[in-house]
Structure 1
Amino acid sequence: MALPQEPADGIAGWAADLVDTMGGPGAGLAIALENLFPPLPSEVILPLTGFAAGQGVLTLASALFWTTLGSVAGAVVLYWIGMLFGRERMRAIWAKLPLVKASDLERTERWFERHGTKAVFLGRMVPIFRSLISVPAGVERMPLPLFVMLTTLGSLIWNSVLVMAGYWLGDQWEVVETYVGVLSKGVLVLVVVALLAYVAVRLRGRSHPRHRRTS
């Protein structure tokens, strides 16, 4: 059964073709690629998959199963990239970056050791970070079974919300993209502001070095 009123082009058209041709596995493939290439928006693919389920192209259970499986598969690939990249190589690159210190990386590593489980689980429900969080998990060599479990749970929640939204909204599934797109832009703005603040503090510290007391 073909999707009615499906978009003719763009990412939505590409995702619609995958789902219409392959059903659940097509939706899973689209989401796996979305994890590897964050510019592919889950806020388009997931509601569209829910809409397809509402039209009988696939079942709702199949939509949730395959999109979650695709999320985990894409995340594991990024995890292995981080693991192969390794901590020592990360330290070597970090040492060459301007405005950063080795202690900054050490603090980040300690933070991930304490909060890594929460970061991986909750990060799966935050636009942009839902893909990126897999890399530091691999770098820090979080146990793979734990990573897979947290990724599966977080992805299932995120995917369920967007798939069900598309399922209930029907022809109006694109409304989901609008609201999640606003959230994504908000997250991006916060990241940029935090980065600029970090750079400003570093530059200020360099321009106003502390004078040691002389005895």
Structure 2
Amino acid sequence: MADAVTERKIAAGAVVFGCVALLGAPLGLLWWLIAPRGQVTVTTGGTTVFYPLSETVFAGEGYYALMMLVAGLLTGYLAYLAQYSSTRRHGVDLRMPTLLGISAGALAGAVLAWVVGVGLDVFSASGAQSFAAPGDVVEQGLSLRSHSALLLWPFVAILQYGLFDAVSLWRGDLPTAEDARTDTVEPVHDEADNSRGPAPVER
């Protein structure tokens, strides 16, 4: 029995990790599609400088940070709902495996979104700069200079998940093994008694 419980916990953590981490790919694609690009000026040495300087230089990173915040809120809430339902159905406490899975999955997803977004932009940006003459203004590719933004998704997801778990703990409605047994019990009907018809009335 203990081995079955352990296997269920490992499987739950692995599923949460995989589902959350894979969300990084579409998020990276969305970042690449909607994020604005700043403009840079090509210098004589082939390098670039941020000129003319505008807010669009930092807007791409702002879009990434906002997307990671929203992803953290949604995945934290959905992971809690999935964990609560599964724990109530099977009577196995999956809070810790789910928390570990969403923490590692959110970090992996944030890195994947960064790699996908920057990777899709690197060829077009480098190509534009290589063909530009000194003094030309070209569009900058996506980048993430502040790597601390990679922690936004896991931080918010853990915070959201922990908040709902704390509310359940405070309300005392955490699912238990007894809830699982109660949910699976079905009423038993005595067909033999029903076939006899109503009991006679004594006079």
Shorter-chain TM-score range: 0.3 to 0.5
Structure 1 or 2: larger strand share? 2
TM-score, normalisation: structure 1 = 0.37
Greater C-alpha radius of gyration? 2
Structure 1 or 2: larger helix share? 1
TM-score, normalisation: structure 2 = 0.39
